[in-house]
A and B are shown apart, each in its own frame.
Chain A
């Protein structure tokens, strides 16, 4: 076995041990960064690079060999050529080259019954033509636009995913931690269908319809979250959005029931979740602890001691390191913060070192600080 293959095997074992409830040799390090962060680091023009598959692949390799993560850190989630063909209004390129997500409405309040009857059909008939204006046309033209966009999507990802696997082997990294993505039903309804303000009004005006809609959406979200290659090491990524903005009573009524069912059904199908627990979920830690054992939770905010105590015995914790400290802190301050978190979160296992956010802007996270922190954790956080 080559030295790099041996290193990949050792790194994979760190995650396997965690997923199987054992204490690994050391705390694994998983850094998440948007591919545009790597573009800024490499000094390429982000506006042009978003259109270039070969540049995206170069960035993936630069990230693999540079940032000292145990897993390929670069993520490619938004494809400008696809959005361009579709005439996207929900994902548009900003002046810096970043792809931004304006507030959009894909569904109107009077359409709940149509959504509830067949969410997948409704998505194609109503939501997509509103979010992608080039699909708002005759059936024949719509089919052509959809086909072209899907061809580009497949052309890109059929190269990007094997490339990530190849560079991971080349640089001795662990395999990717994510098999696919899905969304909590309430978040799905809020994000691109009804919008933040729309769903906030709907839970007052049409509470029964919102509950019915979440139940109707659930099977589609379960299907999206299970792949033949799903496993405890290749998880279903679920970014959580709306709960911190809800009153506890509304969370219990609208958000929690279908979210819990989703995570339970995924776990039962061998597709455990990797939750990105966005914003502050302190009010809901007891709920999170009810989810199937071994769910991974990457926290953005919260008291690390409380999180460790409430959910860290049953679940795998990550996140909580303030990424922006890497932008304004000295190297020593950044390392001291890492030591503080490792000392709280590592004892007893169930911990992956991650920052609290995906790195997007270079000024938010100086690369030299990020690298120093990751190197420190790998050296210090040995069991």
Chain B
């Protein structure tokens, strides 16, 4: 499935592309970044459902 794209949504691959991600901490950075992106997405959808 294609990755979801929007100017206002930062996927993990977008994040890696736009930031210098410390390789040996990438897993920790992802788990402390991506869930919050997803929470904003989920909340946004709740507002229009």
List residues of A whose CB falls within 8 A of some B CB.
86, 106, 118-121, 123-124, 127-128, 131-132, 149-150, 153-154, 180-183, 188, 191-193, 219-220, 222-224, 265, 268-269
B1 touches A150 (CB 8 A): no
**Interface residues of B, count at CB 8 A:** 19
> What is the total of A-B residue contacts with beta carbons within 8 Å?
63
B48 touches A118 (CB 8 A): no
Given A120-B6, A120-B9, A153-B43, are A269 and B1 also a contact pair (CB < 8 Å)?
yes
Q: CB < 8 Å: which of B1, B41, B47 contacts A132?
A: B47
Chain B residues closer than 8 Å to A180, beta-carbon distance: 42
A150 touches B6 (CB 8 A): no
List residues of B whose CB falls within 8 A of some A CB.
1-2, 4-9, 39-49
Dominant secondary structure at the A interface: helix
Q: CB < 8 Å: which of B41, B43, B44, B48 contacts A106?
A: B48
A118 touches B7 (CB 8 A): yes
Task: For the complex, give the distance between the alpha carbons of A193 and B49 in Å.
Answer: 10
Chain A residues closer than 8 Å to B48, beta-carbon distance: 106, 123, 127-128, 131, 188, 191-193
Chain A residues closer than 8 Å to B2, beta-carbon distance: 219
Task: For the complex, give the distance between the alpha carbons of A192 and B48 in Å.
Answer: 6
Q: CB < 8 Å: which of A118, A182, A268 contacts B6?
A: A118
Name the residue of chain B whose CB is nearest to the CB of A157: B46
Name the residue of chain B whose CB is nearest to the CB of A78: B46
Cβ contacts A to B, 8 pairs, < 8 Å: A120-B44, A127-B48, A128-B44, A150-B43, A181-B45, A181-B49, A220-B45, A224-B42
Chain B residues closer than 8 Å to A191, beta-carbon distance: 48-49
Task: For the complex, give the distance between the alpha carbons of A169 and B30 in Å.
Answer: 33
| Chain A nearest Cβ from B2, distance in angstroms | 7
Given A181-B49, A183-B49, are A124 and B44 also a contact pair (CB < 8 Å)?
yes
B1 touches A265 (CB 8 A): yes
Task: For the complex, give the distance between the alpha carbons of A342 and B13 in Å.
Answer: 51
